[in-house]
Structure 1
């Protein structure tokens, strides 16, 4: 019994001595690993701020700037961790860590596929110069001012002050019309005049009215006027001209103003804008005899 105890004690002492020797041997590597982690931590903070300043020049959204800065910091710290494990000769632990991270990343990616798609779409939209906050855009059946682009969704404020929230993935996969990319818009105005009207006079009066109403129209030739066909009650025409505008609201205001002024000019000149008229004609060709009605009711 005593011999067994002595043997166990000797084995324990040998084991402790081995651990002590290993610890002494790895102290320099351990200190170096701590230094690597410390340097990587402060480097992550500095690089994160630097990236944030660079991104701020192109991205207005604070949420996206913060996210990019944090992702950069995590990457730098992760690199420092891998270097520290390499310094301590923990290659197997590093391999296991990478394998585990890959499996966890795959599982998270499958579970959050839609969310990640919106996140990456939000990052892409944030760096697009043709889509900025304050632009007036039209997409997926909605039209309004862009008030926010974050990592989840794309937010519009419509003309009626309603807020529309659209997933970033939908914006990226569908056509988008940006009215703010150009400083000019063309106004289309359709109307009709009576068949008794002097068509040349109508054309000239319409062009003169548009030219007087809008400063952007410098001469009559800038107003396009085309008769489009004979309608049921009127001869129809299309008038179009350019204005300085960057939103659909400005275009609607210009069209409203043009309609008001044209109506005033037509009323003053005695030009008729007809509305559909249906004429009912009664003559003596339709005759109803009372005996025939009596026979019809009696048969029933």
Structure 2
């Protein structure tokens, strides 16, 4: 191929491209206008969506996420519209197919992250817990320090910070002590069989009625629960006007001190456990076999002699 043929070929190519450019010029102008207009509308919709979502959810991270998601969706619609105007339908089809395959692969690879993420969204809308609540989740009790889209952070009362994935928070029972701002303290006590139970009940209730943080609207109750081995068992139930652990423990400690003092002043006995040892039971050894029979026999004989001498 000489220089003339090369020049002619290049000229033909440029001429053809020029004709195609002139033919597509209106579409290019329209695509540019749609692209600029689409970006402008997407920003406007993101702003409006952020305001609307803020009325439903007070989680700033979640609000920004939803607003950004809506913005990306409208940008995607704008880009696909522009490609269609430019007659690049095959490119649009290829992009959609690639996006579908990529989304499927990511869904399998990050399914745990996706589950925690969706659980965080549901938690943000349902609001079963919020920062500052005293909760018990999966055996961990403490104050909620942070609720984000992936996990929930709890400052436990024993010191450690526990990070629980939102999937576990969403799928497990949540004990929220702050919602009602009340906690019940149950104190189990045993009194002697020889004590007057009516007196025990009155003395016990009088001992705890003036504790500072006990509820004034929900009265303290006392129930006798069972006949124990060496005591009659009762349960005192006190409602506390706070969910704070420090107050809960303080009320319990003060109740124990007051009840013990009141029992001592009124001759009410909290008996020690009584155990009976039977050495002659079937399969065991008798006292005689253990050599204790002779000792006991000598003691009985000595006691009898002493009795006779005193007589």
Asked if TM exceeds 0.5, the reply is yes
Give the whole-Å Cα distance in 2 for the aligned partners of 1:16 and 1:217.
91
261-270 or 134-143: bigger deviation? 261-270
- Partner SS, residue 84 of structure 1: helix
| Pair 1:42–1:264, CA change in 2 (3 A) | farther
| Pair 1:149–1:112, CA change in 2 (3 A) | same
1:287 aligns with 2:294: yes
Question: Is the 8 Å Cα contact of residues 210 and 217 (structure 1) preserved in structure 2?
Answer: no
Give 1:269 shift.
Answer: 2.3
* Superposed counterparts of 1:1-300, under 5 Å: 6=4, 9-214=7-212, 217-218=215-216, 222-278=219-275, 286-287=293-294
| Pair 1:188–1:169, CA change in 2 (3 A) | same
Give the whole-Å Cα distance in 1 for the aligned partners of 2:216 and 2:151.
43
Question: Is the 8 Å Cα contact of residues 214 and 238 (structure 2) preserved in structure 1?
Answer: no
Q: Which has the higher contact order (CA 8 A, sep 6+)?
A: 1
| Pair 1:14–1:217, CA change in 2 (3 A) | closer
Give the whole-Å Cα distance in 1 for the aligned partners of 2:31 and 2:255.
75
Q: Which runs of 5+ in 2 are unaligned?
A: 279-286, 296-311
| Pair 1:206–1:73, CA change in 2 (3 A) | same
Q: Which runs of 5+ in 1 are unaligned?
A: 289-300
| Pair 1:247–1:80, CA change in 2 (3 A) | farther
Give the whole-Å Cα distance in 2 for the aligned partners of 1:260 and 1:52.
56
Question: Is the 8 Å Cα contact of residues 215 and 241 (structure 2) preserved in structure 1?
Answer: no
Give the whole-Å Cα distance in 2 for the aligned partners of 1:21 and 1:156.
68
TM normalised by structure 2 equals 0.80
| Pair 1:218–1:102, CA change in 2 (3 A) | closer
Question: Is the 8 Å Cα contact of residues 214 and 251 (structure 2) preserved in structure 1?
Answer: no
| Pair 1:266–1:47, CA change in 2 (3 A) | farther
**What do the CA deviations read for 1:172-217 (whole angstroms, capped 9, x no partner)?**
2222222222233332221111233221111011122232225755
TM normalised by structure 1 equals 0.82
Aligned residues: 285
| Pair 1:285–1:16, CA change in 2 (3 A) | closer
Give the whole-Å Cα distance in 1 for the aligned partners of 2:77 and 2:18.
30
Give 1:167 shift.
Answer: 0.9
Give 1:262 shift.
Answer: 1.9
Give the whole-Å Cα distance in 2 for the aligned partners of 1:275 and 1:176.
39
